């Protein structure tokens, strides 16, 4: 690209999948970087569905202060969705519709901010130009609390969930320790992670040593062994007086079945899980007779912007800026990924990686990150995880004592096409 005045066309940004405490920081990075280059930005309302429905938002109607406030505002400012595009052959009508919308609004760059399935969608859309004779450049932008995207060292959104999980484990354990003599003996915290145990592993940062919580971490990468689990709980309670357990929602038995299978599936075809913590709590009560409590932070863990990691917030903003740079440089079918160059001190940079190496791939916990008994994390895991939760990025607070989160106008762009039925 030469000068901003010669840049033609608009950039479309969309958010996908489960939102995070810092995905809006990425949105701010995108919009501010594009504004600096004179490129107008539209946002799709509710992810790729907004593009299909021609429900677009003109971010140019937002003030500089409103966009800046996105850096400390959780949730998805433009709405997200769980919707996976089929192949071009299976549903050509959807792709033709996208091209119609892009053409009608002179959209030349599309940035899709999401996880594994979103990277697949971004890859498919990146192939539209040649297949349908339209000049469109597509950049996948990383986001997922699960930290399971391939290639990138870590995923924006994960560091903040990791910090929340470690802090919550530490604080709840202090509570349990205080009451264990006459009350709760076993506390079970269930965290997100359908196939990869990164969030559960982060709980291990709360303490170190056999008697420090969490005493047991249960990972989806290891088949659940009921006998070994109960023996570990019993031995911990007898030695320490109480026991903190952190379990990934995706825990499976030796047959590969989810312990918490609910029998339903989401829009991406993933199993809906009904709660592994109560299953484990029932085992503890029935087999060991201990009084228990369990907690399911659910959305709280991924929306806790008040406890966000500064490292995570900085990286989220940086990938948004880089995505714009890549798009305007003419790149297509790539994702800005985080590359770690040093653990201590922690150093990182952003580089482009091809989407075909990321789409539909899952990065699970390396075996070297799990202790031999499968109930804890190793020193290698600590070296990897610890830098990701460093630093505080507190949102501003008002006189009412609550965080002051940003709100956008989200002014709709006038539609130019007939309604699309899908």
Average pLDDT of the chain to the nearest whole number: 93
- What is the average per-residue pLDDT within 368-376? 96
Query: In the structure, what pLDDT confidence band is assigned to residue 274 with cuts at 50, 70 and 90?
Result: low
In a domain, 269, yes or no: yes
**pTM metric for this prediction:** 0.94
- Are residues 30 and 111 both part of a single domain? yes
Asked, for residue 90, whether it belongs to a domain, the answer is: yes
* Confidence class for position 224, pLDDT limits 50, 70, 90: very high
- Crossing angle of the two packed helices 116-126 and 92-104, in degrees rounded to 10: 70
Confidence of residue 265 (pLDDT cuts 50, 70, 90): very low
On the question of pLDDT at 262 being above 70, the answer is no
pLDDT tens-digit profile of 373-396?
999 999 999 999 999 999 999 999
Give yes or no for residue 259 having a pLDDT over 90.
Answer: no
Q: Is 120 a catalytic residue?
A: no
**Strand, helix or coil at 400?**
coil
**134 and 10, same structural domain?**
yes
270 — pLDDT class (breaks 50, 70, 90): low
Alpha-carbon separation of residue 372 from 196, 368, 369 (angstroms) = 18, 9, 10
* Domain contains 188: yes
pLDDT tens track for 296-307: 999 999 999 999
Same domain, yes or no: 293 and 278: yes
- The reply to whether 298 and 320 lie within a common domain is no
Would residue 368 count as lying in a domain?
Answer: no
Residue 343: inside a domain, yes or no? yes
Tell me: do 356 and 234 sit in the same domain: no
Residues 287-344: tens digit of each pLDDT:
999 999 999 999 999 999 999 999 999 999 999 999 999 999 999 999 999 999 999 9
Active-site entry in 146, 148, 153, 314: 146
Cβ atoms of 130 and 344 within 8 Å: the answer is no
CATH number at residue 48: 3.40.50.450
Q: Quick check: 70 and 27 in contact, CB under 8 A?
A: yes
Residue 140 lies in a domain: yes
Could you tell me if residue 390 is inside a domain?
no
Across the strands, what pairs with 258? Answer: 252
pLDDT of residue 2: 39
User: Across-strand partners of 140?
Assistant: 112
Look at residue 261 in the predicted model and tell me its pLDDT.
72
Residues 134 and 176 in one domain: no
Could you give the maximum distance between any two Cα atoms of the chain, in Å?
A: 73
For residue 163, the model assigns a pLDDT of: 98
Which domain covers residue 80, as residue numbers? 4-144+307-362
Q: Quickly state the pLDDT bin for 22 (edges 50, 70, 90).
A: very high
29 and 101 together in one domain = yes
Angstrom distance (rounded) from CA 22 to CA 316: 6
Q: How confident is the model at residue 357 (pLDDT cuts 50, 70, 90)?
A: very high
Higher-confidence residue of 166 and 8: namely 166
Same domain, 162 and 203: yes
Judgement on whether residues 301 and 350 belong to the same structural domain of the protein: no
Q: How confident is the model at residue 131 (pLDDT cuts 50, 70, 90)?
A: confident
State CA 168 to chain mean position distance.
18
Whether 297 and 162 map to the same domain: the answer is yes
Domain boundary among 274, 305, 336: 305
Considering just the CA atoms, what is the radius of gyration of the chain in Å?
23
Residue 272, pLDDT above cutoff 60: no
- pLDDT attached to residue 103: 96
Instruction: Determine, yes or no, domain membership for 394.
Output: no
Residues 357 and 363 sit within 8 Å (Cβ to Cβ)? no
* 104 and 182 assigned to the same domain: no
Overall domain count for the chain: 2
CATH number of the structural domain spanning residue 212: 3.40.50.460
DSSP conformation letters of 169-200: HHHHHHHHHHHTTTS--EEEEEE--SS--HHH
Q: Give the model's pLDDT for residue 273.
A: 54
Q: Domain check: are 299 and 165 in the same one? A: yes
């Amino acid at each position: 690209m030469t000068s901003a005045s010669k840049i033609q066309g608009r950039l479309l940004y969309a958010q996908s999948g489960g939102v995070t405490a810092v995905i809006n920081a990425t949105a701010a990075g995108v919009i501010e970087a594009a504004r600096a280059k004179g490129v107008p930005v539209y946002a799709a309302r509710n992810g790729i569905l907004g593009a299909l429905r021609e429900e677009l938002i003109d971010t140019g109607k937002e003030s500089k202060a409103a966009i800046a406030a996105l850096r400390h505002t959780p949730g998805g400012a433009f709405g997200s969705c769980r919707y996976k595009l089929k192949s071009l052959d299976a549903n050509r009508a959807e792709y033709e519709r996208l091209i119609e919308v892009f053409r009608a609004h002179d959209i030349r760059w599309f940035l899709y901010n999401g996880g594994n399935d979103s990277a697949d969608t971004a890859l498919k859309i990146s192939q539209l130009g040649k297949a349908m004779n339209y000049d469109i450049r597509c950049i996948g932008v990383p986001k997922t609390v699960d930290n399971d995207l391939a290639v990138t060292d870590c995923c924006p959104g994960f560091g903040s969930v990791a910090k929340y999980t470690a802090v919550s484990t530490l604080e709840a354990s202090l509570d349990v320790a205080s009451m264990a003599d006459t009350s709760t003996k076993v506390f079970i915290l269930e965290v997100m992670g359908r196939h990869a145990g990164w969030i559960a592993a982060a709980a291990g940062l709360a303490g170190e040593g056999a008697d420090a919580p969490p005493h047991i971490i249960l990972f989806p990468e290891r088949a659940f062994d009921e006998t070994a689990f109960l023996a570990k709980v019993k031995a911990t309670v007898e030695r320490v007086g109480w026991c903190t357990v952190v379990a990934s929602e995706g825990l499976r038995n030796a047959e590969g079945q989810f312990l918490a299978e609910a029998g339903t599936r989401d829009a991406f075809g993933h199993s809906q899980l009904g709660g592994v913590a109560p299953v484990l709590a029932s085992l503890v009560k029935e087999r060991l007779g201990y009084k228990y409590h369990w907690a399911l932070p659910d959305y709280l863990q991924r929306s806790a912007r008040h406890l966000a990691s500064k490292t995570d917030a900085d990286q989220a903003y940086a990938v948004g800026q880089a995505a714009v740079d890549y798009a305007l440089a003419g790149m297509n079918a790539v994702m800005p990924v985080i590359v770690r160059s040093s653990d201590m001190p922690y150093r990182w940079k952003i580089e482009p990686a091809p989407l075909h190496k990321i789409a539909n791939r899952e990065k699970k916990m390396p075996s070297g990150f799990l202790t031999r008994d499968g109930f804890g994390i190793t020193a290698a895991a600590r070296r990897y995880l610890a830098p990701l939760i460093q630093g505080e990025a507190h949102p501003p607070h008002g006189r009412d004592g609550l965080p002051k989160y940003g709100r956008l106008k989200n002014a709709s762009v006038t539609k130019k096409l007939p309604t699309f039925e899908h």
